[in-house]
Amino acid sequence: MIKRTLYFGNNAYLHTKDEQLIIDFADKEKPQATVPIEDIGVVILDAYQLTISQNLITKLLHNNVALISCDERHLPQGLMLNLDGNHVQSERFKAQIAASEPLNKNLWKHTVKAKIRNQRFILDGLGIETENMKYWERSVSSGDISNYEGRAAAYYWRCVFEDYIEDFTRGRFEAEPNNLLNYGYAILRAITARSLVASGLLPTLGIHHHNKYNAYCLADDIMEPYRPYVDRVVLDILESGVDVSELTPELKRQLLQIPVVDIVIEGKSNPLMIGMQRTTASLYACFEGSQRKIKFPEIE
């Protein structure tokens, strides 16, 4: 079942009764609305006078909902997740913690290869030369010690938006369409962290990222091959010709479709949110020794 992503950009009181999320809008002309909590995967809170009850927070987390709060720029800032997302979580934590350095380096190798491959397919679709990307993809070694990920990223960002943006620079605080990318990646990060928890894994312990200030190192690792799906949504928005200087409700609506974008893993098509569950489940299988590679999607 595809879980719903709910965005709240208007003032309201969110609470619960009979396993339903209940929405009482500040605008009294709007009727009360309800959503079954079991149908929800991600909730985004983006209004200054939005109030949510502790009972609702508890029920959302119990149902493994990723709860995102936004800052004054309406960009995702905080992420709350369930700490008990799998019934054999302790056993899975042990397997994750015990993963050897060679295993983690091998997993990162295949992660980087999958990311470069998907970036290459995006550029192929735009008619951009990708022989260098093919070489970098083939050349990635254990741990990516030659940093082919960085080389591929530099070329990719130089080319991917060239028909729409002159001298584009990818960065969190750089000019648009970075605002769209930041928002889309935050949604993707929440989906990834949620799936890791559901698979009984700790999002903090990365296979490559190890920033001591980052609570979601593993999520940042595993989402890498999925980033081009966000890029493709942003490309579609730019192609439509709309003004992207401001992150409008309509632009957010389009980016909120990321969880249901179709992806293909090993020939099987699924919405991204469900495909991510296959990816994180395969990651645990690598940690416990029954698989050697993570199952990542391939853009077609």
Task: Dig out the tokens for 21 from the structure.
Answer: 């999320």
**In whole angstroms, what is the distance from residue 219 CA to residue 196 CA?**
7
Task: Dig out the tokens for 27 from the structure.
Answer: 């605008």
**In whole angstroms, what is the distance from residue 82 CA to residue 77 CA?**
17
CB 222 within 8 A of CB 280: yes
Q: Given this model, what pLDDT does residue 85 score?
A: 67
| Interacting residues of 119 by C-beta distance below 8 A, sequence separation 6+ | 133, 152, 153, 156, 160, 228, 231
**In whole angstroms, what is the distance from residue 70 CA to residue 10 CA?**
13
Measure the CA angle with vertex 165, ends 163 and 171; round to 5°.
130
Distance of CA 205 to the CA centre of its chain: 17
- Across 13-27, b (16+ Cβ under 10 Å) vs e yields bbbbeeebbbbeeee
3-class secondary-structure state, position 53: coil
- In the chain (300 residues long), the average pLDDT of successive 10-residue segments reads 91 97 94 97 94 97 95 88 80 95 98 98 98 98 98 98 94 94 96 94 94 91 98 98 95 96 97 97 97 95
What is the value of pTM for the model shown?
Answer: 0.93
CB 244 within 8 A of CB 176: yes
Domains of the chain in sequence order:
4-80 (3.100.10.20), 89-288 (1.20.120.920)
